[in-house]
């Protein structure tokens, strides 16, 4: 005689393992502890999984990604422990699925993003589930939402399928130049938009770091350094004979803002972060319409 309870248990165990990535023993124990209640057992396993992944080694690899929909764009980074995840189908699918869910959501920071539904799971649960499958600690490290007006334009670029993602907002559409500028930002790593946007505290910091790395500060050399990290005064990577600011002036255009996400940026050395982007992602909030 077929034991229907046994068949039901096996079905529940299989489904629960698929959704949480837990082992057979842990799954059976969770079901027994919660008297066969599927949702309670699932919550129990995910809670334990969160504790386990939180104690693993630093996750500084992974991918960045961006999604653009009309006047809205999102930039985000999901970290894992090794570069191998970049070729993992589960990890790559998760990256895409997260973007699809976030671009249609109202989430404005990481904590809200983790609660966004992705199918019958939250994004946080999806990441935990994928972590269990790939056997690596993974987490959503930072998330930006950027809005623009109809008259403005986005330029974007992704390097090595997401090792670097850049987004630039211009006050007018310059066609192909939009994305070429985003590519320049990926390659040249500007920190600032223009000299006028470098405030006193930031200038003091840059002076201190320059002194620390080069000894006595030469005003000429320091100014050359600032030119090299400021978008307006950088030479275009595709045409080193002209500065970005000159190209914009010729086209009667200006850059409103730009964003550059690089995998692991600031994890090993927090001073590698762009100064207005918190390295731990704790205070990243929605960017207002420009």
Instruction: Read off the CATH number of the domain in which 9 is found.
Output: 1.10.8.10
Q: Which of 75, 199, 80 shows the shortest CA–CA distance to 145?
A: 75
Mean pLDDT of 77-99: 95
Place of tokens 């998760």: 94
Mean pLDDT of 107-128: 94
Query: How many domains is the chain built from?
Result: 2
Q: Is 185 within a domain?
A: no
Same domain, 26 and 120: no
pLDDT tens, position by position, 167-214: 999 999 999 999 999 999 999 999 999 999 899 999 999 999 999 888
Q: Which residue among 34, 54, 74 closes a domain?
A: 54
- The number of CA neighbours under 13 Å toward the Cβ of 222 is 18
Q: Is 140 within a domain?
A: yes
Q: Is 153 within a domain?
A: yes
Q: Is 211 within a domain?
A: no
Q: Is 127 within a domain?
A: yes
Q: Is 183 helix (H, G, I), strand (E, B) or coil?
A: helix
Contact 131, 138 (CB under 8 A): yes
Same domain, 9 and 39: yes
Same domain, 94 and 15: no
The reported pLDDT for the residue numbered 53 is 54
Distances (CA, A) of 139 to 30, 76, 111, 272: 24, 11, 12, 20
Q: Is 139 within a domain?
A: yes
> Which one is predicted more confidently, 277 or 106?
106
Same domain, 158 and 267: yes
- The whole domain housing 38 covers 4-54
Asked if residue 30 has pLDDT above 60, the reply is yes
Asked if residue 133 has pLDDT above 80, the reply is yes
The reported pLDDT for the residue numbered 52 is 59
Provide the 10 A C-beta neighbour count for residue 199: 11
């Amino acid at each position: 005689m077929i034991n229907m309870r046994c068949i039901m248990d096996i079905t529940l165990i299989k489904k629960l393992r698929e959704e949480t990535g837990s082992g057979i023993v842990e799954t059976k124990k969770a079901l027994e502890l919660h008297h066969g209640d599927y949702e309670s057992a699932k919550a129990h396993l995910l809670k334990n999984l969160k504790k386990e992944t939180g104690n693993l080694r630093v996750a500084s690899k992974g991918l960045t990604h961006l999604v653009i929909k009309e006047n809205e764009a999102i930039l985000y980074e999901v970290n894992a422990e090794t570069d191998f995840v970049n070729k993992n189908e589960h990890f790559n699918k998760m990256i895409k699925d997260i973007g699809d869910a976030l671009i249609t959501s109202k989430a404005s920071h990481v904590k809200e993003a983790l609660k966004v539904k992705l199918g019958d799971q939250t994004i946080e649960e999806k990441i935990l589930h994928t972590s269990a499958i790939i056997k690596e600690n993974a987490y959503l490290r930072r998330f930006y939402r950027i809005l623009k007006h109809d008259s403005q334009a986005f330029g974007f670029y992704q390097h090595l399928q997401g090792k670097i993602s850049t987004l630039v907002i211009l006050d007018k559409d310059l066609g192909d130049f939009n994305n070429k500028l985003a590519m320049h930002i990926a390659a040249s790593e500007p920190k600032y938009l223009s000299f006028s946007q470098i405030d006193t505290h930031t200038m003091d910091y840059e002076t201190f770091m320059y002194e620390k790395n080069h000894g006595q500060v030469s005003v000429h050399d320091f100014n050359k350094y600032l030119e090299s990290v400021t978008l307006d005064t950088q030479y275009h990577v595709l045409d080193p004979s002209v500065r970005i600011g000159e190209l914009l002036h010729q086209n009667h255009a200006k850059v409103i803002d730009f964003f550059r996400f690089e995998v692991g940026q600031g994890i090993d050395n927090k001073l590698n972060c762009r100064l207005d982007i918190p390295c731990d992602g704790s205070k990243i909030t929605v960017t207002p319409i420009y």
